[in-house]
Amino acid sequence: MKFTLSWLKEHLETEASLNDILAALTRIGLEVEGVDNPGEKLAAFTVARVLSAEKHPQADKLQVLSIDAGSGPIQVVCGAPNARAGLIGVFGPPGAYVPGSDMTLKVAAIRGVESNGMMCSVRELEIGDEHDGIIELPGDAPVGTPYPDYAGLNDPVIDVSITPNRQDCMGVRGIARDLAAAGMGTLKPLREVYRMPAESVAPVGPSPDVRTDDPEGCPAFYGQEVRGVRNGAAPPWMARSLKAIGQKPISALVDITNFVMIDLGRPLHVYDKARLSGGLTARKARAGEQVLALNGKTYTLDDTMTVIADDAQVHDIGGIMGGEDSGVSDATTDVLIECAYFTPEAIARTGQKLMLTSDARTRFERGVDPAFLGDGLAIATWLVTEHCGGTASGVTRAGSPPDTARTIAYDPDHAERLGGLAVAPERQRAILESLGFAVSDDWQVTPPSWRRDVDGGPDLVEEVIRIEGIDKVPPVPLPRIAGVAKPTATPEQKLERKLRRFAAARGLHEAITWSFVGEQQAAVFGGGAWTLANPISEDMKVMRPSLLPGLLMAAARNARRGATTIRLFEVGRRYLADGEKPTLTVVLAGEAAARGWRSGKARAFDAYDAKAEALALLEAAGAPVANLAVMGPESDGAGDAYHPGRSGTLRLGPKTVLARFGMVHPGVLGAFDLGGDVAAVELFLDALPAKRATGFMRAAYTPPAQQAVTRDFAFLVPADLAAGDLVRAVRGADKAAIVDARLFDQFTGQGVPEGRKSLAIEVTLQPGDKSFTDAEIKTIADKVVAAAAKVGAELRG
């Protein structure tokens, strides 16, 4: 919500400084997001008169001007076609920064003639789009005056964040009312703000034909005609206010409705009467009806949506956007002003279905003041007749707005009990009444019609505390139980923290992606089990079945920005049909090792890199890595998202999958606009075996007294035997003596039979109290050979 300081002061009689107002806004819950003074960046520019204009001696399209900016003649070279003697414009001296051209002026020679600054156009100063010539000011503009002062640009624009419950502050008057309650000034009467006559002008002619056939979506529909209008430019003060907050002035009739919407939080719509066929009706749309909206797009409607239509067609998506076919133009002479109340929930559903946002929708779906229809229409009609002429008809009031009157029994002691701040009862009464609440002697409080968010005593406490000052609430420490505090983190939380630190220590970068993906991204991973009925957007409609979509999109963004090595990980939740599952996912893309004088060309990530990450992370998580089996396509594989021949799973037993790893399927990479090879790891934290309950302390580590012994074994095995199966068999041959076994060589070729391969295993033996004898070592070796034979291996001669 944006407004200028001068706009605010139209409603608030105040002597408070800008800083005091900004501090008060944030203090009462209307957080200030930013303040911008457009006059500050144009402080160096002044009003100047062109004394003479001579043709440039070296250029046909340039002129040499002599200008007076208040301190004597200055020579300026200018190429504007409208530059001439006597013109009054805006001069930028050397050293001034021109925002529209992004340059700082300096004394320069242009085609051999010295130029000491420039005469500026509207676009160059970023105060409009015109750029066909330099600015032309009225003949009485004071030469030498700073241009921001002359043009009224020294008017700070305040940007306030309005929470969804504060629909009353979606207009400048509502914000002024809050500030007045906070002691920042006095709220002016509304008739005084709009300079309206004490008595309304008598209507002329019949009232318009409007009605509502949709009391659920549009309970009240008021209308009034103004005949004989002249639609031109809006008055300068109105156009200036709208431009200051980023609204582009269109015409007086349109600008009046926009101004009232922002000023009072009351959206309106104006129709060209000549372009209507019969009266206007608020009704439910017919399935398949279409409307060409003011944004130039055609929308197809359904029978749940409220529209405003005449006898021939739909002209307005009720409460959201008007139609192009009945919009006003410069030729408009008779208008119909619509002021209606639309049900907030219906507006929200329609806007979501059509994916259509507007300033009107923002206000209607929060809930506008249902008691302000008559006054809002009267103000809009007054502005139309005041600035566009014409005569107003009577008002047609079709339907009736909802009655929101309600009474809340309030106990003033609740301010201290719930809000933590003791406020005198009479002070509380004054605060509530200044905000528009009616308070009886026995503390029966009636909220004003514009505060639909207040429905109980705690809400009244919030009003009192925020106006009195949240900063006055004394900090009170929570009681602390004696003794050592118990840990609050669960084992699952501790594990996730540990893995985050470990992954970062391995050079991976943590990413946090959305928990929602689009239907197309979810379909790549088998589809989502949960779809949102009210998504933020179509790209965030499905709760993610995997963390890979978000990480792959992040990898693609990084790759497009030139990243050569991408190492991302995320700890988060997958959302499956049987609930949410904690998962750690890693994506590796680009170069695993950069090119160098020894290695030659760069090396890309491969499935072994993914496997190494998976094993390291599982070991950090406390998984029994030595007991894990690596399984590939022969046991369901890693899934359709992975390359079938370059991926696998790490399992504890035949069914418990602790991790998937490998290269991402090329089809998946194409769906996410990723090229090259991409490796990935998924660790399923919920599948990790639970730790056994132990005491508070483990036995202290004692180094072995004897030196370890290593023995090498070479086995001939079937070519399709996984090396891991042989290593596990050897490691389990004698669990008391064998502490480690690892593969150190694989060989095929001369001396190895067809269909076989040679695997060399290094076995580490750890003696206990005394060294092994030769006989004991032979016994262990026999056990190793026997264990290997069970998986189809034989000792190589």
User: Annotated binding residues for Mg(2+), as ranges?
Assistant: 453, 459, 462-463
Nearest CA to 25 among 470, 493, 558, 322?
A: 470
* DSSP three-state, residue 104: strand
With vertex at residue 452, the alpha carbon angle to CA 448 and CA 457, rounded to the nearest 5 degrees, is 80
Tokens 């290269």 label which residue? 663
**Identity of the amino acid at 681:** V
Q: Which residues are annotated as a binding site?
A: 453, 459, 462-463
Task: Kindly state the DSSP code that residue 586 receives in the 8-state scheme.
Answer: E
| Pair 97, 103: CB distance under 8 Å | yes
Q: Give the containing element (helix H, strand E) for 340.
A: strand 334-341
| Token pair for 144 | 């030498």
Kindly report the number of other CB atoms within 10 A of residue 417's CB atom: 11
Question: For residues 282 and 401, what is the distance between their CA atoms, to the nearest angstrom?
Answer: 14
| Pair 316, 310: CB distance under 8 Å | no
Question: For residues 642 and 679, what is the distance between their CA atoms, to the nearest angstrom?
Answer: 9
Look at strands 542-543 and 408-409 and give their pairing. Answer: unpaired
Q: Which long-range contacts (CB under 8 A, 24 or more apart) does 519-522 make?
A: 520/671, 521/549, 521/553, 521/671, 521/672, 522/549
HEC profile for 255-322? HHHHHHHHHHCCCCEEEEHHHCCCCEEEEECCCCCEEEECCCCEEECCCCCEEEECCCCEEEECCCEE
* Alpha carbons within 13 A on the beta-carbon side of 771: 6
The DSSP secondary structure of 116-172, one letter per residue, reads -SEE--TTTTTS-S--SS-----TT--TTSBHHHHHT---PEEEEE--TT-GGGSSH
**Chain Cα centroid distance, residue 215:** 35
Task: Write the Ramachandran bin of 767: left for phi over 0, alpha for psi from -120 to 50, otherwise beta.
Answer: beta
